[in-house]
Amino acid sequence: MERVACMLKRAAGRPGGKLSHVMTDEAELQGAYDLLEGGRVTAASLCASFADASFERGSNEPFLYTVIDGSSIQLTDLTGGKGLGSIGNLEHGARGMKVVTALGVDSRGVTVGLLGQVWWARTKARKHSANKRAVNAARPLSDKETRHWIDAIEQSQRVANAHGQRLWFQLDREGDNKDVLLALAATGHDFTVRCAWDRVTEVSGEDEQRIRQRLAMAATVGSYEVEVSGAPSRKPRTAQMVVRTGRMTLVMARRGERDSEKKRLTVNVVWAREESTTPPGEKPLDWLLLTSRPVETLRDAKAVVVGYTRRWRIEDFHRTWKSSSCRVEEMQLRSFEAITVWATILATVAARIERLRLIARVAPDEPASVDLADHEIRALILLRRERQRSRHERVPDTMPTIATATLWIAELGGYTGKSSGGPPGAMTIRRGLEVLGPAARMLAIVEAERQ
């Protein structure tokens, strides 16, 4: 694992998809190629180690939000020998790999790190057909991509149990699947899933009713306001969200199943819907959430909604991993195994960049040591002094805050303050780390020589 640790340090200091960009020393570059292409380490074993570190980082939390979502990385394969599969629309012919990631997020909304990751190549993708839904329903779980989502759930559950940590799974509409819901319930941890279907519910002595039908007849438990930012198809506004809740038993079945074969799952439901503030021509905000958490008050319901909003952290992670910072799709490795190992290393680097970005905003007074190594902090102070020589700013030797350290890193990467359009983002942090990484490494070498 010494070689892996070296690669991780280099990637953290100089993120990028191409090994030749990250590993500037010729011997280290060859060693990295040998490790990746030699099959001496697997993505699963790496991810398990990273998950252990994530749980240690979040050990003081009452629980970790565990956001699960799928994505894909598109790669070049001119010879067809990399073991890739189709991604996206089959007609476009794109090649790459599919992945489901479980990302840990703390109660403040700060990314903690990877908790699980499952890779596969879609080598048997089927073209759309008129009866696709019926065909899929008849297939066993072992033949569906749903199993990879369940694998990611179970991966993070196993490590959480080993660390004695509680999880609160957060899934978007793709998680509204019978097998996924039952798997979530079986973990014994909490979950929230956004509804993709207005499911059938069991009503004693009456015909079956849909979720929305039942909630529409329920009294509201209260309301709250949320600020909606503007977008090309959305006007900025203060939205009034009205909340209804209920406890229901979902009736989940495949077509043609007898009543005795139908699966049932009792959950709490939170329906937060915008009323009276929707601009003409726009759809109201509408979240229908299934959860295992108790929902007895408006405060309970809002906690479920806030938990679901943490799901957006994985969207930021995917962007940092794939395009803005780590550029994982630029890699040029030659095998499925090598690709997944290097992509997993870059995934934990992307999670670190997101953690730096977020913790500087929500906990600005924490010491820089909360996420930066000693050599990084000392190198950052020296680089800051060099940059500020002509401005007569005194930079002390004392520990900077994480907000100050992140600002200095971003400024090394070209951040210009308010004119940059907001607080430091992933791109300027990544560029700053490219300057800081070699400086911290050189400082460590010099200090080792002096000893």
CATH number, domain at 433?
1.10.740.10
Q: Who's near 396: CB < 8 A, 6+ residues apart?
A: none
Where in the sequence is the domain holding 402, given as residue range(s)? 364-450
Q: How far is CA 33 from the centre of its chain?
A: 28
Q: Rounded to an integer, what distance in angstroms lies between the CA atom of residue 434 and that of residue 235? A: 38
Does some domain include residue 36? no
Q: Encoding tokens for residue 76?
A: 């070049």
Does some domain include residue 239? no
Does some domain include residue 377? yes
Rg (CA), the chain: 24
Using DSSP's 3-state secondary structure scheme, residue 85 falls into strand
Rounded to whole angstroms, the maximal C-alpha distance in the chain is: 83
Along the 451 residues of the chain, how does pLDDT read in single tens digits? 788 988 998 999 889 999 998 998 899 899 999 999 888 899 999 999 999 999 999 999 999 999 999 999 999 887 788 889 898 877 777 899 999 999 999 999 999 999 999 999 987 666 655 565 555 666 778 788 999 999 999 999 999 999 999 999 999 999 999 999 999 999 999 999 999 999 999 887 666 789 999 999 999 999 999 999 888 888 999 999 999 999 999 998 766 566 667 889 999 999 999 999 999 999 999 999 999 999 999 999 999 999 999 999 999 999 999 987 899 999 989 899 999 999 999 999 999 999 999 999 999 999 999 999 999 999 999 999 887 765 667 888 899 999 999 999 999 999 988 676 789 999 999 999 999 998 998 898 888 888 7
Does some domain include residue 402? yes
Does some domain include residue 398? yes
Quote the number of domains for the chain.
1
Using DSSP's 3-state secondary structure scheme, residue 283 falls into coil
Q: How many residues make up the chain in this entry?
A: 451
Does some domain include residue 408? yes
Phi, psi torsion values for 143, nearest 5 degrees: -105, 10
Q: List, in sequence order, every residue forming a beta bridge with 228; answer none if it has no partner.
A: 237
Does some domain include residue 193? no
Euclidean distance between the first and the last CA atom of the chain, given in angstroms as a whole number: 26
Does some domain include residue 52? no
